[in-house]
Structures are given as C-alpha cells and as structure tokens.
Amino acid sequence: MKVRDFCSPQIALAEPGASLREAALLMRNQHVGALVVVEKKEGVTRPVGVLTDRDIVVAVIAVPGARPEGIRVADAMSTRLAVAREDDGLFEVAQIMSERAVRRLPVVAADGGLKGIVTLDDVLRVVSAELGQLAEGLRWGRMREREKRAPLGGA
C-alpha cells in the first residue's frame, strides 16, 4: 500500500516567520501536536521543517527569560526534515520513522510539493487492519479445510 492511500491531506501549516505563540495557538485550535512549516516557491508549497509541541517547550519553557512572541518558528523547528514520497510503501514509511525517530512525516510529490502528512498512528492503523485481514484469511482457510476433508477413522 502506498502512503498516498493512507496519509492525511489535512495538514496544519505554519510559516517560518510566525511567532511561537501563533504556532502554539494554531496547534491548540487545530488539535495537533505538530505543524508542517512550509515555504511557497515557484507556485509549489514545500515543507522546510516541522515544529512540534516539544520544540516549543524546549525553545521557550526550558530557556530562562525566553518569550514566545520573540521567537520565530524558524528558530525552533526541526530542520533536518524527514519526508515520505507519495509512492513510498507502508514499510518504507515505517523504516524512515524508525531510523529518524519521528512520529510524523510530511508526504511530498515528485516535485517536492506537500501532499499530506502521515503519522505513526496512521501506520499502526494500516498495519493492524492488514494483520486483521491476514488472520481472517487464515481462519477461513481452516474452515474450508474442515469442510473439504472429513476426519479419518482410527485416529
């Protein structure tokens, strides 16, 4: 299954120049723990970073005297950006998340344009559904076997 088939096209976005207070308000109002930071170039919206609620805590709460109004998203966001390509498969996405120790990946098209976001929850939901289908197939296989082959005497 390709990531484009199970990623969310609903993405909470921020611009690099926004304040951390604005970003925190966006997170609160959109009920998310991360924002994809984007820049528009040549008519294509491309991700340039991710800002998480943890990034805000580390940038503001952990720094004595820091004020969220004085810190920009670009100053606190994760810039070592990991992304999934929309043609990546489920296991490729899981591997990227594992290797980069992230719970969310922006999903990009071939031109680098933002298409969606995939979360660890999305991956787990798809994996559990696939495992459920596998278990159901095994159950039906056993039932068909019982119907085709009656028990032999003497055993």
CATH code where residue 78 lies: 3.10.580.10
Give me the domain span that covers residue 92. Answer: 3-147
Please indicate whether residue 44 or residue 69 has the higher confidence score (pLDDT).
Answer: 44
The tally of domains found in the chain comes to 1
* b/e burial code for range 117-152 (CB count within 10 A of at least 16 → b): bbbeebbeebeeeeeeeeeeeeeeeeeeeeeeeeee
> Is there a domain that residue 96 lies in?
yes
> Is there a domain that residue 154 lies in?
no
Mean pLDDT value across residues 56-81: 89
> Is there a domain that residue 143 lies in?
yes
pTM of the model: 0.82
Angstrom distance (rounded) from CA 5 to CA 61: 38
> Is there a domain that residue 152 lies in?
no
